[in-house]
Structure 1
Amino acid sequence: MSAQNPEKVTSILEIFDTTTKQRHVIREFPYLIEAPDWTSDGEYLIYNSEGLIYKIALSSPHREELIDTGFASMCNNDHLISPDMKWLAVSHRSLPHGKPTIFILPAQGGTPLQVTPSQPSYLHGWSPDSKKLTYCANRNGEMDVYTINRDGTDETRLTFSEGLNDGPEYSPDGKHIWFNSVRTDLMQIWRMRTDGSEQTQITFDEDKNSWFPHISPNGKNVVFISYNKEDSLPHEHLRYKNVEIRMLSDEGKKPQSLFSLFGGQGSFNVNSWSPDNKCFAFISYKLD
């Protein structure tokens, strides 16, 4: 979901190396970009800007390439290349102030095909076999987690608790979906089986609201973004705030704070792990 952009913002595309604990700037953009997604071949980062989807090669990051998304020209920061690299899924709204629907198209560009039957639908994850999508959607007056087949069949609701359930993402082994939920007051990280069973709270913070769990390709680490509760309400993931990127390595242990940044919305919306499990991409911002 996107928010209004101030007139002058610098977007800093960065990579964090979990082995050295160092941040590396890939490129600075004198305008708003959001939500980097690392392709499974390790060569490209995908991002959105002004409704369009771009990619840059890590070998030549100062040249961006526009991906032809056809009529889908109002894409938000919920976009992902499929694990098999054949498909690009986007959340596109057909009207300037409308609500998004999920579409897929060939990864190199092409005509979008509608997947979700109605709106709003906010994409967050592909299944490891590239056959299913998981997303947040409002179908019954509540924002819940759903799955659907890539061809648009069998939309299935997985969460039924009151309040916002968002940010769903498949584990690499295909056995679980991680997500974030406000069902215990603050926004916390949760996990469930892919059929919706065994919904289990993972974080128990008393002073933070945490969003968008991203699982490393080997399934060993989960990174997510956290706001201080004084800076946002549980259901808000706001732009241009001081936030933390945190990591869970062993279930049941306290999350480790990796670093802080100025960002929030747009910084870390989709999975951005490198295929070698060592690094992940994110965006920080500067306001002029």
Structure 2
Amino acid sequence: MIRTLQNGQRCEVWIASAAGTSELAFTTDKLLLEAPNWTLDGQALILNGDGALWRLDLSGGLEKVAITGVPDLNNDHVLAPDGATIYLSANDGHIYRAALDGGEATKITDDDGWFHFLHGVSPDGQTLAYVGIEAGDFSQPGRLITIPAGGGQTTAIDADGHCDGPEYSPDGDWLYFNTEAFTGQPGHAQLARVQNGNGSTPERLLESETVDWFPHLTPDGRLASYIRFPGGTVGHPADLPVDVVVVSTSDWTTPLHTWPLFGGQGTLNVNSWSPDSERFAYVAYPVSNSIGMP
């Protein structure tokens, strides 16, 4: 399903710094953009909108990326470490690979009866981490799964409860994600990590009353961002007052900076840190009468 803006709503792409400042990079009331990635050269953001991929040049200008051979895209897309390749999740439930400058896409996942939602690429570019939903039945819990970047045999990672957002640490030793396994409260996602490939028990990163999603580490591993939903939220819906939070990876319990906004789905679904680890991007969706409108 392709998301669109409500009447009176606008899309705002913000750039925040590790030091706690923020600036508006782009705004539109015509197109709902989601989930920024930062290009390896530091010059642009890659986002999805209207089922397509878009490049937002930070010096000005939004341009559609001409990718063919792929259905409408959702907001799960990640750049490969080479900076020239992007992996994409489409609304047919499959993961695709394409050149970042456009062209024909290649399907990676098999018709195995699962929906595949990409979130992570290993630092060596050899493996993808995704969330699998059996038979596309969203009443079933999301499972953490890896697959070779070229396709092939999948590997399930043992993590209880509904999970989402698996991303590799910069050294490749850990997968960071959110899970509902730590409490019996429906939808109460908390941040966690699990050692990559050794079957260890997931480690809870902090205990909170909020619903916490999508941990994203900086390329140097010092900091992380995530999105904080109000307590009692189920899933990661759109159009709520939420917080974007930055913490030190040495202390997840103490926010360094917090940005309240109106958003949720699409705000921070994928890693949006700049290559120098100094800035990251997020998207807000203020409505003229919404709480939290800047």
Task: Answer with 260-269 or 139-148: which moved more.
Answer: 139-148
Aligned-residue sequence identity (percent) comes to 30
Q: Structure 1 CA distance, aligned partners of 2:26 and 2:231?
A: 31
Per the TM alignment, residue 274 of structure 1 is displaced from its structure 2 partner at its CA by 0.7
> 2:205 maps to which residue?
202
> Closer, same or farther in 2 for the Cα pair 1:250/1:52, shift >3 Å?
closer
Equivalent pair of 1:165/1:182 in contact (CA under 8 Å): yes
Per the TM alignment, residue 159 of structure 1 is displaced from its structure 2 partner at its CA by 2.7
Listed as ranges, the matches of 1:83-94 within 5 Å are 83-94=81-92
What amino acid does structure 2 have at the position aligned with 1:284? A
For the pair 1:123 / 2:118, whether they are aligned, the reply is yes
For the pair 1:76 / 2:82, whether they are aligned, the reply is no
Q: Structure 1 CA distance, aligned partners of 2:4 and 2:103?
A: 28
Q: Structure 2 CA distance, aligned partners of 1:147 and 1:268?
A: 21
> 1:112 maps to which residue?
105
Q: Structure 1 CA distance, aligned partners of 2:202 and 2:34?
A: 30
Q: Which runs of 4+ in 1 moved over 3 A?
A: 1-5, 139-142, 250-253
Equivalent pair of 2:76/2:117 in contact (CA under 8 Å): yes
Aligned match of 1:65 in 45, 53, 63?
Answer: 63
For the pair 1:277 / 2:272, whether they are aligned, the reply is no
> 1:266 maps to which residue?
266
Per the TM alignment, residue 58 of structure 1 is displaced from its structure 2 partner at its CA by 1.2
For the pair 1:254 / 2:266, whether they are aligned, the reply is no
Listed as ranges, the matches of 1:230-245 within 5 Å are 230=232, 232-233=233-234, 236-245=235-244
Q: Structure 2 CA distance, aligned partners of 1:248 and 1:147?
A: 27
> 1:226 maps to which residue?
228
Per the TM alignment, residue 3 of structure 1 is displaced from its structure 2 partner at its CA by 5.3
> Closer, same or farther in 2 for the Cα pair 1:104/1:114, shift >3 Å?
same
> 1:43 maps to which residue?
43
Aligned match of 1:134 in 126, 129, 134?
Answer: 129
What amino acid does structure 1 have at the position aligned with 2:128? L
Q: Structure 1 CA distance, aligned partners of 2:211 and 2:94?
A: 26
Q: Structure 2 CA distance, aligned partners of 1:51 and 1:135?
A: 20
> 1:97 maps to which residue?
none
Task: Answer with 5-14 or 260-269: which moved more.
Answer: 5-14
Listed as ranges, the matches of 1:186-201 within 5 Å are 186-195=188-197, 196-201=199-204
Task: Answer with 248-257 or 236-245: which moved more.
Answer: 248-257
Q: Structure 2 CA distance, aligned partners of 1:125 and 1:43?
A: 22
SS in 2 for 1:120: strand
What amino acid does structure 1 have at the position aligned with 2:215? P
Q: Structure 1 CA distance, aligned partners of 2:72 and 2:194?
A: 32
Equivalent pair of 1:246/1:255 in contact (CA under 8 Å): no
Alpha-carbon deviations, 1:208-266, whole Å to 9, x = none?
A: 01000000000011110011114x12xx1010111111223143551305221111100
Per the TM alignment, residue 8 of structure 1 is displaced from its structure 2 partner at its CA by 4.2
Structure 1 unaligned residues grouped into runs of 5+: 95-99
Q: Structure 1 CA distance, aligned partners of 2:152 and 2:115?
A: 17
Aligned match of 1:175 in 173, 176, 185?
Answer: 173
Q: Structure 2 CA distance, aligned partners of 1:253 and 1:128?
A: 23
Per the TM alignment, residue 203 of structure 1 is displaced from its structure 2 partner at its CA by 1.4
SS in 2 for 1:32: coil
> 2:292 maps to which residue?
none
> 2:96 maps to which residue?
103
Per the TM alignment, residue 67 of structure 1 is displaced from its structure 2 partner at its CA by 1.1
Q: Structure 1 CA distance, aligned partners of 2:281 and 2:164?
A: 21
SS in 2 for 1:152: coil
Equivalent pair of 2:15/2:280 in contact (CA under 8 Å): yes
Alignment RMSD, CA only? 1.8
